[in-house]
Structure 1
Amino acid sequence: MSSTTTSAPFSKAVVSAMRRLYPESLADKSFDNTGLLLESPYDPIRRQMNSVLLTVDLTKAVADEAIERNDSIVIAYHPIIFRGLKSLTLSNSQQQSLLRLAAEGISVYSPHTAIDAAPGGLGDWLADIVTGTPAEPPSSEDNDDETPASSRPASPTKPTPSEKEDPFTLKRPVFQLQHHPSQLSLQESALQLGNTSHKRVPIVPSKVAGYEDTGAGMGRIVRFDKPQALTDIIDRIGLGLGNPKGFPIAVPQGKTMSEIQIRSVAICAGSGGHMFSGLDDVDLLFTGELSHHEALAAIESGKCVICLFHSNTERGFLHSVLKPQLEKAVKEEWDRVRKGEKARSDLSEEYAEALEDDHVEIQVSEVDRDPYGIMISKQEL
């Protein structure tokens, strides 16, 4: 075999599958850095498994996970490299993860806004959730209250006599940190996606040749045929995104959630401030995060805001959509790559053995999570 340095043939198949599913031309190149960010050299003598690890963020914990699993490539939704690098050193935590992965022969690919903009991508998945309907009726304990459980404030609790005693006595903490639940156990049947009659368009339609009239573009605006109760939309978001313990909601002063009707929703995964700028004809902004002043401006103009923390609007897509898509697409691309490589006459025994392996595995990270969690009173759990 030639001594030319190359990446693992399986990793090439994965990259090809990603580019077929989510063309890099759809990404917002004005700020984004999508594509193959780390192409690690392939050593056929100590090759990795034919496996892919999906994550939103490439953290130290995720790098450890990929190395322990012997993955060939990590698909990290958020690019770990955004700007030009003048050096690669172990003193920088993100660069350290890249160097460790490179040493193990693990590559990194980041699709980011290509997934956001693609038809059927992240924007449409969130729109499907907002326009879904519950697959099962609510439990009887919720029927006597028009406000859904996911939107009710926690009931205040009075301190017990023992809690009023000596303030210097050491006590167990009464709050514990809860992160967004893992999407690995998400019940897909909890929501019939996109089941409410509506129309949708991108906030910023794509100008990429061939995608002008396909629904591609950044963000989504959903317009319902009939107004929807805000509380119903809150429940849909809770069901579709794994029943989080809670998330920030802003409504105009003087309004209660139970009386608000929503006719239109602007949707943006991650941070929606820039995307929502200038949108006047929508009732609800749904995103991962907005700044304090952006939220104030929204409710002052009569809009409502729902945030779920930045990456919690993105992580469920990996499990619900990208994983099954890749399982099919990578198998097809791996068969194609294997067939082409086997036709070469300069293959080493180790390389030829790697091409005989038809196993394909796609997994979602078990340690990837948003940095923010919510402190919940133990008495309310």
Structure 2
Amino acid sequence: MMSSQTAPFSKAVVSAMRKLYPERLADKSWDNTGLLLEAPYNPQRRQRNSALLTVDLTKAVADEAIETKQSIVVAYHPIIFKGLKALSLGDSQQQSLLRLATEGISVYCPHTAVDAASGGLGDWLADIVTGDAIEQPPQELLQGSPVEGPPSVPPGEETDPFVLPQRPSFILQPHPSGLKFIQRDLKLASIPHTRSAIKPNEDPSSPGAGMGRVVRFAQPQPLAHLIDRIARGLGQPKGFPVAIPQGTAIEDISIRSVGICAGSGGSLFAGLDVDLLFTGELSHHEALAAIERGQSVVTMFHSNTERGFLHSVLSNQLLQAVREEWETIRSGIREDGRLEEALKDTSVEVEVSERDRDPFGLVIAQSAGG
């Protein structure tokens, strides 16, 4: 018989997340954070004591959660932003919620609480920007990658009208979503600097919290080195957008200050006086206005500034916190036959989705034969 309460393990995960990243830190003026789906517990079809971390709760991630029998999905981006007048199978996101509820899988969404918290996503990105690469940045960053011309034509075939020229083929290169983000060659936060929140949180119990970060270096840093640090820290993507003022070159630009915002930083960056803007995405006009002001811009596509945090920081943080919460819950619940089997299970797992990825990848040209 299905109960009117959620799985006790899911309660442990929610309690742990709220302690790690208090919901009061979220920007409630527009964000929607918290337990957005509280699925009823079915003791006859009990899920594993496991939480699945993801940036976006897509159909593919919902399939993954169901197949691997997760108790709860911790989805960084809220799957519900606005009030719903109905839940239907015709809407893909609502369909995922209904399917998860049927399986007894809850959904918790922390979003800007993770962004704002001291030691959270904003500080992790600042740690990357202020990291020290063990190796020097590759020369391609300084000089520009060589542009390959068309394949060479064998002697005697230069004017043969019956030989068709080779056309480039294209492959879609997504960001390495399933990669373990380990900064083996990047010493995080080792370059002398100061940092502060762009929009500080007024809660005195959370010093250092707030939306976005501003990093100010003790000594100017070459832009090429910052680009290298960002690439190393975010999984070595095949490429990402960079904007610099016209008439300048990457190797000539020094950076004294950086504005940082995970996801989309346009509104948070408004009026910010820094040399470099680092975020997931900016609109065309926001980027154009920035370089006209003499600023440089590095973007990584929206969720690629967020996903590595799940691998590098949150998964281990949450695992330790849930272990403590689960022991507290197990020892504090009175005898209940419906929960007996669940409370005997001492296992605790936190997994990162293998199917979560940014919708955008890079299409890279290759020779037809390559």
CA shift in 2, pair 1:89/1:153, >3 Å: same
For residues 44 and 170 of structure 1, the distance between their equivalents in structure 2, rounded to whole angstroms, comes to: 65
**Residue correspondence of structure 1 range 1-12 to structure 2 within 5 A:** 5-12=4-11
- State the SS of the aligned residue for 2:73: strand
CA distance in 2, matches of 1:98, 1:239: 35
SS at match of 1:15: helix
Separation in 2 of the partners of 1:209 and 1:119? 12
Q: 1:165 to 1:296 in 2, by over 3 A?
A: farther
How far off its partner does 1:185 sit?
2.8
**Residue pair 1:174, 1:377 contacting (<8 A) in 2 also:** yes
Contact 1:289 1:307 in 2 (8 A): yes
Output the amino acid matched with 1:199: T
Q: 1:180 maps to what in 2?
A: 175
Write the distance in 1 (CA, Å) between the matches of 2:85 and 2:158: 56
- Structure 2 Cα separation of the partners of residues 337 and 284 of structure 1: 46
SS where residue 58 of structure 1 aligns? Answer: coil
1:229 to 205, 209, 222: 222
Cα shift at 1:184: 3.1
Q: Secondary structure at the match of 1:188?
A: coil
Question: In the alignment, residue 32 of structure 2 is paired with which amino acid?
Answer: N
1:353 Cα deviation after fit: 1.4
Name the counterpart of 2:150.
158
**Equivalent residue number for residue 135 of structure 2:** 137
The 3-state SS of whatever aligns with 1:219 is strand
> 5+ residue gaps in structure 2?
none
How do 1:46-195 and structure 2 match up within 5 A? 46-134=45-133, 136-138=134-136, 142=138, 145=139, 147-148=140-141, 152-161=144-153, 174-182=169-177, 184-195=179-190
Residues 195-232 of structure 1 deviation map (CA, whole Å, 9 limit, x = unaligned): 00000000000012422xx1100000000000000000
TM-score between the two structures when normalised by the length of structure 2: 0.94
Paired residues in the alignment total: 366
What is the distance in 2 between the residues matched to 1:249 and 1:113? 25
| Cα distance change, pair 173–164 in 1 and its aligned pair in 2 (3 A) | farther
Is 1:324 the counterpart of 2:316 in the alignment?
yes
Across the aligned residues of Structure 1 and Structure 2, the Cα RMSD in angstroms comes to 2.3
SS for the counterpart of 2:66 is helix
Match of 2:234, as an amino acid?
A: L
Question: Which residue identity is paired with 2:363?
Answer: M
1:204-353 matches, cutoff 5 A? 204-211=199-206, 214-279=207-272, 281-341=273-333, 344-345=334-335, 347-348=336-337, 350-353=338-341
The residue type paired with residue 265 of structure 1 is: V
Cα distance in 2, alignment partners of residues 35 and 171 from structure 1: 54
Tell me which residue corresponds to 1:367: 355
Q: Secondary structure at the match of 1:294?
A: helix
Deviations 1:292-341 (A, max 9, x none): 01001000000000000000000000000000001100000000000011
Provide structure 1 residue ranges, at least 5 long, that are not aligned to the other structure. none
Between the aligned partners of 1:287 and 1:258, the Cα distance in structure 2 is: 21
Among the aligned pairs, what percent are the same residue?
62
Quote the Cα distance in structure 1 between the aligned partners of 2:226 and 2:212: 18
Offset of residue 138 of structure 1: 4.0
- Give the alignment partner of residue 358 of structure 1, picking from 343, 346, 352: 346
Cα displacement string for residues 53-107 of structure 1 (whole angstroms, at most 9, x for unaligned residues): 0000000000000000000000000000000000000000000000000000000
C-alpha contact 1:51 1:71 (8 A) present in aligned 2: yes
Q: Is contact 1:183–1:315 with CA below 8 Å preserved after alignment?
A: no
